[in-house]
Structure 1
Amino acid sequence: MDTTRTGFKTTKTQRGFTYAYYFTASSPSKPTLLFAHGFPSPAYLWRKQIAFLEPLGFGIIAPDLLGYGGTDKPTDSKAYVGSGMAQDVVDILDAEGIEKVIAIGHDWGVQVVSRLITYHPNRLLAVALLAVGFLPPAPVGVDFTAAIKERLGYDAYAYQRYFVEPGAHLTIEKNFDSFFSLLFPLPKSATQPEDIWLENMCVDGKTKAWIEGNRTTELVAYISPEDKEYIKKILLDGGMEAPLAWYKVFLSGESAADDTKIPESAAIISTPLLFIAFTDDTICLPELGYETHAACVQPQSNLTTKAVEGDHWALLSNAEEVNEVLVEWIEGLKVSV
């Protein structure tokens, strides 16, 4: 993946947003892969997967999603509703003349892929979800962070309440190295006995204390200093208010209101689905995805589940294993394009 961004193209979507995206055309008979990243990295998150899959002849579309990189950065959370972002992605496919893709999502990118499933299943050959399982339509008036706390026994999404506080984006920008240390944490070990996410992202008030206290750690092994500086520059050039709007649209109830447009039948997935669970992910526990897919994927023969050892960022730390799982599954689909 060209990190100088000369490999990126731009297009304007029907909603009037300009999107930047990395694109390479597929070889004959090979499908195009759509990569949807999450928070807080732009399309650069997928560099190890793209570097492996692109030379095999697969087409690649990896957009900087709304709020990131070279894409527009609205701060109105309503711009981030699922129906709108799914349509934006379809507009990118149309700009390149791509009828169908295999969509691959991680973290909040799974929200985008989930809404492609519910609104545009005819554009999908198959889907692969990493760390986070399919996100069915959100019920109106339900505090999903409280529901997760009750289900898991701890406040897994406590950090999100800080992310939507007024002015949080300014503190994160000011103390960016602290934010980065928290989001890409050192693993628990004999020399580092703290479970950083469990103790600082899953306890109310602790994320705020970490960042306002400007606490930092050394870089985790799978992030190079160059990686960090690239992500830091991309995020700070555009500011953190737009990326954090992904959380605001959910916690405000705007996302649930938007989801009321989805018919009940659309939440049943008939597309082949691969779920790659990351076994040491404190927040996106594998069993949450397992339970959702047992209820939503029909027939179950369309479901493939794999577990990779690693935390939320195993697509970076265990990239070789993730890549092998992806390519084996893609080639096993025998899709025609």
Structure 2
Amino acid sequence: MHTRQIQTDGLTQTILEAGEGPLVLFIHGFPDLGLCWRAQVRALADAGYHAVAPDMRGYGGGEKPGEVEAYSILSLVGDMVDLVRALGATSCVVVGHDWGAPVAWHCALIRPDLFRAVFALSVPFQPRRVQGPPTEGMAVLAKRAGRGEFYINRFQAPDAHEALDADPATTLRKMFYAYDGATPADRQSTGFMPEGVSLLESIADDATLPPWMSEKGFGEYVDALSRGGFKSPLDWYRNVDRNWLLTAPWQDAKVTVPAAFVVGERDPVRHYAGPAEAALKDWAPDLRMQVVVPGAGHWIQQERPDEVNRLLLEFLGGVLGAGQDETTMPVVIPHLEAKFEIQSASGADPLTLTIYQPVSTPSGSFEVVYELSGAMSSRISVFGETEVQALGLAMKVIAADLSGISRRFQLRELDSGRALTAELFGLN
């Protein structure tokens, strides 16, 4: 596992990276960093995936444009599109937590061709509200509840970040404490603040670090947010109404790719995202997993890394077909073209020709083993279509005489040697 910078079309991004194989992209939220995914990056690399967790725009090693509008949902999705391309991938599975979950959901909503599945933590997909900009609805909700001001409305103030910047260590300690699953319910954040009381003042001064957060790890957060400040992270929140305007073309659109949602039972976000959680299946019809983890809070991938890793690998196995030692399936191999001329002394003797072709696909690197057998007296052409399907590409065998030609071949995974059986289809 290593950290490096990568130049994309839009900006220079700093990523945490490990492994080879199908790309899985991790998107963090507020006030987080790419390092929050360490346990997942390590586990997925060990399982044969290429795991990448960037410091998002405005955080850590990421670039920090000064304009508020630079942090719109379309800019954030665009960053991920650019990153996938810069990594040399043609598709990926996207994973998001907290603010990273809405970004992940919108990646899948806007570019389902590129983001083939979505795994969201803590924040469900929330469709664009027809009643108007979100901050208006949040203000009405807070007034009806008689609970003061909602934190997202408070973050709209141009100087809201200054109180957080005054003491980054205290800010982070209180935030991690107030949303942790081990914190007593009466000391967790409700998301609402009485008039005249700041977010930090609404959280107990004796807040302690959660048990899963080491002093060293906490120091990395403090260093990053001390250098970069909270202005850019809060600019994500300052775009919620702009996002509402920008996403008008996707009004009533559904997330059609395979999806999963995992949330901690004691996550305070559920207090105000509960309706969206209950309606998730309506807006993500291919929802394959919806899990509430008992006792877990908001920082679920760090509080319960083993459980999140297990669920994520299970989901990936279902989406990508990983974890199966032998199976029969169609496989897409993009832009493969190889022609072979087969002859025999008599022109009619049975023969077998085996061809080994190394290829890279969205599902990993394989060696394709073609075994063609039968009485053949003319040319055989094996080539790939351009259409992409779940695990590979349609193949055709064309010959003057196809009698007796085997319709089966193998995929041999280069790294592990695992053999998969596949079927030729579209045979003419």
Distance 1:147 1:11, change over 3 A: farther
Instruction: Return the match for 2:101 from 101, 110, 113.
Output: 110
Say if 2:209 is the partner of 1:219: yes
Q: Residue 81 of structure 1 is aligned with which of 47, 67, 72?
A: 72
Aligned to 1:18: 12
Contact 1:164 1:248 in 2 (8 A): yes
Change (3 A) 1:72 1:154: farther
Residue 318 (structure 2) pairs with residue 332 (structure 1): yes
Larger radius of gyration: 2
Which residue does 2:31 correspond to in 1? 40
Q: Please give the per-residue CA displacement for 1:72-100, whole angstroms capped at 9, x wherever unaligned.
A: 11232211111221111111111111111
Instruction: Say yes or no: does 1:230 pair with 2:223.
Output: no
Contact preservation (8 Å) 1:148, 1:155: no
Determine the structure 2 residue equivalent to 1:315: 301
Query: 1:50-107 deviations in whole A, cap 9, x for unaligned?
Result: 1222111111121111101111112322111112211111111111111111110111
Quick one: distance in 2 between partners of 1:82 and 1:225? 33
Instruction: State the partner residue of 1:67.
Output: 58
Aligned with residue 195 of structure 1, among 179, 187, 194: 187
Runs of 4+ in 1 over 4 A off after TM superposition: 147-151, 153-157, 186-189, 211-214
Greater strand content? 2
Deviation sequence 1:176-223 (CA, Å, 0-9, x none): 23212321116688x96732313xx32334761635999342211111
Structure 1 residue 292: Cα displacement: 3.5
Q: Give identity over the alignment, percent.
A: 23
**Counterparts of 1:212 and 1:290, CA distance in 2:** 26
Within the candidate set 290, 293, 296, 2:283 is matched to: 296
In the superposition, the TM-score normalised over structure 1's length comes to 0.84
How many angstroms does 1:323 deviate by? 1.1
Paired amino acid for 2:170? S
Gaps of 5+ in 1: none
Candidates 260, 266, 271, aligned match of 1:274: 260
Structure 2 counterpart of 1:124:
115
Change in 2 beyond 3 A, CA 1:213/1:219: closer
Q: Distance in 1 between matches of 2:203 and 2:20?
A: 48
- The question of 1:244 aligning with 2:229 is answered no
TM-score, normalised via structure 2 length: 0.67
Letter in 2 for 1:173: D
User: Secondary structure of 1:197's match?
Assistant: coil
Which range moved further: 318-327 or 279-288?
A: 279-288
Counterpart AA for 1:21 = I
More helix by share: 1
Higher RCO (CA-CA < 8 Å; seq separation 6+)? 1
Cα deviations by residue, 1:91-140 (Å, 9 ceiling, x for unpaired): 11111111111110111001211221222110122110101011323544
Aligned residues: 318
8 A contact 2:16–2:52 mirrored in 1: yes
Residues 306, 118 of structure 1: CA spacing in aligned structure 2 closer, same or farther, 3 A cutoff?
same
